[in-house]
């Protein structure tokens, strides 16, 4: 109890700063409008309670988790069409993704991690279970939900060796979280073993595989990617630097300068990870001597355009599909981020390059590198060398892309495994 008391005190002190970051206006970020009150537990009741069945509550904090949750939501509704589903996100960009599901679910904003806020949400929604996408674990939320007799299940749960070691140093804090979790549906056996080593009972852990392998590439995405590629130039070499971070864009642009010595007509689609950095990255491109066009400003892409700045949210698949080669960001800035998921370019059959730091997706990266679908660079020079080699060798690009797609297809089926495990837990 003392840990939760101290945590709540610290959260109270930090809350103004956290809320400022959440509500601060940013380019490309939808406004919360009057719905900001939902973060404080002033949650509207569901519009429908079909047949008196209590809803299943799925929490997906932001864009990535929302996209990953969609196949599970669709499968759950297909199997149980009468089952109400409510999805919470913390961010408005996550809400934008869930809105694409239309009437399939209802959306509310996640209450912040004070017990009184969570209790307000529970009174309004009365869920039968809480399903958390990935390890978005908040101590007061878990305790309040658990104490209300509502089972808590974590989907797509992963735990890197680094995170496991950190939890061991604060074992009492991990125990506080773990005792309020009924079941963990883990990505891989390695994740399951790390959770068990920290004290989670083995019968509370199931390996389902990664839901993200069950990614669906819809025809509309392919059409949009083809349209964008036509605008950029079908004949010119195009690569995308996806989800880049501060300190990484400079390295990407340095590599691009080297690539242009061999392929002066080449074009870079640059996709910063955080919307608040769009203006900053644009200025960086200009200061570095590149001709830059932003997607939102409807600038005309000409043969002289060198950088296409992707300053929108939710279009990553379109940008990946329009490029010949992907560089996945979050991987060239030491251990600060630990890489990002390479399954989207893999599902599109694209060759991918990553930097040396990818610990958050070690298993996925290992499978892709073992299949020779991904190359690992160690800095701007080797990134440029790999890009030049792949631009020179179309056959190599096709070989890597086909291998990547094969890895994705071999690992698919996690959604059905997850649904089976959920049905078992919900029926207990």
CATH number of domain containing 380: 3.40.50.2000
The domain tally of the chain equals 2
Q: Which helix (H) or strand (E) holds 9?
A: helix 2-23
- Res 134: pLDDT: 83
Q: Is residue 320 part of a domain?
A: yes
CA distance 53 to 56: 9
Q: Is residue 13 part of a domain?
A: no
Kindly indicate the confidence band of residue 48, based on its pLDDT and cuts at 50, 70 and 90. Answer: low
Point out which residues pair with 241 in neighbouring strands. 270, 327
- What distance lies between CA 262 and its chain's CA centroid? 34
First to last CA, the chain: 28
Question: Is the same domain home to 192 and 263?
Answer: no
Residue 427 has pLDDT above 80, yes or no: no
- Res 31: pLDDT: 75
Q: Which two tokens stand for residue 282?
A: 């644009």
Which pTM does this prediction carry?
0.70
- Res 326: pLDDT: 98
Q: Is residue 390 part of a domain?
A: yes
Residue 27 has pLDDT above 80, yes or no: no
Kindly indicate the confidence band of residue 28, based on its pLDDT and cuts at 50, 70 and 90. Answer: low
Question: Is the same domain home to 294 and 199?
Answer: no
Question: Do residues 261 and 237 lie in contact, with contact meaning Cβ atoms separated by under 8 Å?
Answer: no
Residue 50 has pLDDT above 70, yes or no: no
- H helices of 148-188, in order, are 161-169, 171-178
Q: Is residue 11 part of a domain?
A: no
For the chain, the average pLDDT equals 90
Question: Is the same domain home to 321 and 291?
Answer: yes
Span 203-253, pLDDT tens digits: 999 999 888 788 878 889 999 999 999 999 999 999 999 999 999 999 999
Question: Mean pLDDT across the stretch 26-52?
Answer: 78
CA distance 285 to 307: 8
Question: Is the same domain home to 198 and 67?
Answer: yes
Question: Is the same domain home to 281 and 349?
Answer: yes
CB burial of 104-138 (b: ≥16 within 10 Å; e: otherwise) equals bbbbbbbbbbbbebbbbbbebbebebbbbbbbebb
- Res 52: pLDDT: 75
Q: Which two tokens stand for residue 363?
A: 């298993």
Span 117-154, pLDDT tens digits: 999 999 999 999 999 998 778 889 999 999 999 999 99
Residue 391 has pLDDT above 90, yes or no: yes
Question: Mean pLDDT across the stretch 11-16?
Answer: 80
Quick check: is 65 catalytic?
yes
- Res 51: pLDDT: 67
Q: Is residue 16 part of a domain?
A: no
Q: Is residue 19 part of a domain?
A: no
> 338 in helix, strand or coil?
coil
Span 104-117, pLDDT tens digits: 999 999 999 899 99
Share above pLDDT 90 across residues of the chain, in percent, rounded to a whole number: 61
Question: Is the same domain home to 54 and 201?
Answer: yes
Span 284-316, pLDDT tens digits: 999 999 999 999 986 789 999 999 999 998 899
Domain span at 71: 28-209+413-426
Residue 65 has pLDDT above 80, yes or no: yes
Q: Can you give the CATH number for the domain in which 130 is found?
A: 3.40.50.11720
Span 331-377, pLDDT tens digits: 999 888 889 989 999 999 999 999 999 988 888 899 999 999 999 99
Residue 201 has pLDDT above 90, yes or no: yes
Kindly indicate the confidence band of residue 262, based on its pLDDT and cuts at 50, 70 and 90. Answer: very high
Q: Is residue 175 part of a domain?
A: yes
Active-site pick, 27, 50, 65, 298: 65
Question: Is the same domain home to 188 and 240?
Answer: no
Q: Is residue 92 part of a domain?
A: yes
CA distance 372 to 221: 26
Sign of CA dihedral 383, 387, 389, 394: positive
- Res 332: pLDDT: 96
Of 13, 148, 133, 12, the C-alpha closest to 68 is 133
Span 180-193, pLDDT tens digits: 999 999 988 889 99
Share above pLDDT 70 across residues of the chain, in percent, rounded to a whole number: 97
User: Higher model confidence: residue 51 or residue 32?
Assistant: 32
Backbone angles phi, psi at 415, to 5 degrees: -60, -45
Question: Is the same domain home to 158 and 52?
Answer: yes
- Res 180: pLDDT: 93
Of 236, 242, 241, the C-alpha closest to 254 is 241
Q: What share of the chain is helix, strand, coil (3-state, %, to 5)?
A: 55, 15, 35
- Res 26: pLDDT: 65
Question: Is the same domain home to 279 and 417?
Answer: no
Question: Is the same domain home to 149 and 236?
Answer: no
Question: Is the same domain home to 225 and 148?
Answer: no
Residue 49 has pLDDT above 70, yes or no: no
Question: Is the same domain home to 421 and 391?
Answer: no
Kindly indicate the confidence band of residue 56, based on its pLDDT and cuts at 50, 70 and 90. Answer: very high
């Amino acid at each position: 109890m003392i840990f939760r008391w101290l945590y709540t005190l610290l959260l109270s002190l930090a809350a103004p700063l956290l809320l400022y970051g959440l509500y601060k206006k940013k380019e490309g970020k939808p406004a919360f409008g009057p719905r900001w009150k939902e973060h404080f537990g002033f949650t509207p009741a569901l519009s429908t309670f079909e047949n008196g069945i209590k809803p299943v509550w799925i929490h997906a904090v932001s864009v990535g988790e929302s996209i990953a949750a969609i196949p599970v939501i669709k499968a759950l509704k297909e199997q149980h069409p009468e089952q109400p589903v409510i999805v919470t996100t913390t961010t408005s960009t996550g809400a934008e993704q869930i809105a694409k599901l239309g009437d399939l679910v209802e959306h509310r904003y996640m209450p912040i991690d004070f017990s009184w806020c969570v209790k307000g949400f529970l009174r309004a929604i009365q869920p039968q279970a809480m399903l958390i996408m990935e390890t978005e674990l908040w101590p007061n939320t878990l305790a309040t939900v658990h104490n209300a007799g509502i089972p808590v299940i974590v989907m797509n749960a992963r735990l890197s060796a680094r995170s496991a070691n950190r939890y061991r140093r604060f074992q009492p804090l991990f125990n506080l979280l773990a005792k309020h979790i009924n079941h963990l549906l883990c990505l891989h056996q390695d994740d399951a073993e790390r959770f068990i080593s920290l004290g989670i009972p083995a019968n509370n852990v199931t390996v389902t595989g990664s839901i993200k392998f069950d990614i669906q590439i819809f025809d509309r995405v392919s059409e949009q990617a083809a349209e964008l590629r036509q605008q950029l130039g079908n004949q010119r070499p195009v690569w995308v630097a996806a989800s880049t971070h501060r300190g990484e864009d400079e390295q990407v642009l340095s590599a691009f300068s080297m690539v242009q010595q061999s392929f002066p007509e080449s074009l870079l689609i640059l996709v910063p990870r955080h919307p608040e950095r769009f203006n900053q990255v644009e200025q960086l491109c200009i200061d570095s001597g590149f001709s830059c066009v932003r997607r939102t400003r409807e600038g005309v892409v000409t043969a002289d355009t060198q950088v296409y700045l992707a300053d929108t949210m939710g279009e990553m698949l379109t940008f990946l599909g329009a490029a010949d080669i992907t560089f996945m960001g979050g991987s060239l800035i030491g251990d600060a981020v630990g890489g990002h998921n390479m399954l989207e370019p893999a599902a599109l059959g694209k060759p991918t390059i990553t930097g040396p730091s990818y610990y958050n997706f070690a298993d996925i990266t290992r499978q892709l590198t073992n299949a020779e679908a991904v190359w690992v660079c160690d800095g701007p020079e080797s990134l440029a060398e790999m890009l030049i080699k792949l631009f020179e060798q179309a056959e190599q690009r096709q070989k890597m892309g086909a291998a990547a797609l094969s890895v994705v297809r071999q690992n698919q089926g996690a959604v059905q495994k997850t649904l089976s495990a959920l049905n078992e837990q919900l029926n207990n």
